[in-house]
A and B are shown apart, each in its own frame.
Chain A
Amino acid sequence: KQEVTQIPAALSVPEGENLVLNCSFTDSAIYNLQWFRQDPGKGLTSLLLIQSSQREQTSGRLNASLDKSSGRSTLYIAASQPGDSATYLCAVRVNNQGGKLIFGQGTELSVKP
């Protein structure tokens, strides 16, 4: 059974810092991995999607990497801003369960001005 874990559960940094969020998964048989952002009381916004054959994806100040063999992904946020404060969720799409997304618990990020 696929399990997704995110570390840390919460993170507080001063504005301007570069930071890394971690995601690990137990079964490397994934179709792709997706990072989402969730603001309090809101739905999910997709940030980056990495196919299983890819190593990384970049969008603006965000860079996500994928090491399928070790079951790890990282989300790198450069030059953090207070507007980046949100919960970041990692999810893997499994191959053998109809393409279901399995979510981690999320990392709650707070960027202090």
Chain B
Amino acid sequence: GAVVSQHPSRVICKSGTSVKIECRSLDFQATTMFWYRQFPKQSLMLMATSNEGSKATYEQGVEKDKFLINHASLTLSTLTVTSAHPEDSSFYICSARMTSGGGWEQYFGPGTRLTVT
């Protein structure tokens, strides 16, 4: 149980275009989802926290107009990178926290590798 999926697993886009990444909790309901970014050989940096039905809370230094997060249901959150640039190339990982019974343990998706050319 407690599986989180991401789609796509890998995406290449041209500079200036937008790309959407989906995060789904497959077998549980998640009121809270988290989006992280990871650069090569570095740790995960939290970008934003999203709660179902409300606006996401962004970490300091993360541009909310560039990284649009929508947590439309208890099983789906999306991250849209708008007007992507090469410096946005990174590994994006989402995580979901169970609504109940799961304490505060988070379950992580397999990640999405974004390359902006």
What residues make up the interface of A, taking CB atoms closer than 8 Å to B? Answer: 31-32, 34, 36, 41-46, 49, 89, 93, 98-101, 103-106
Contacts and interface: CB of A to CB of B under 8 A. Distances in A.
Interface of B: 4, 6, 34, 42-46, 49, 57, 91, 93, 95, 97, 103-111, 113
- Nearest first, the 4 A-B pairs at minimum CB distance are A44-B108, A43-B110, A103-B43, A43-B111
Most buried by B among A36, A43, A103: A43
* Chain B, interface SS category: strand
7 contacts: A32-B104, A41-B113, A43-B4, A44-B95, A99-B97, A101-B34, A105-B42
Contacts, number: 49
B43 A104 contact: yes
B105 A46 contact: yes
A46 B42 contact: no
Residue with the highest number of chain A CB atoms closer than 10 Å, among B43, B45, B49? B43
B105 A41 contact: no
A49 B103 CA distance: 11
A23 to B, nearest CB: 12
A34 B113 CA distance: 24
Contact of B43 (A34, A41, A93, A105): A105
B46 A101 contact: yes
Given A41-B113, A43-B109, 12 more contacts: A32-B103, A41-B111, A42-B111, A43-B110, A43-B111, A44-B93, A46-B105, A46-B106, A93-B104, A100-B49, A101-B34, A105-B43
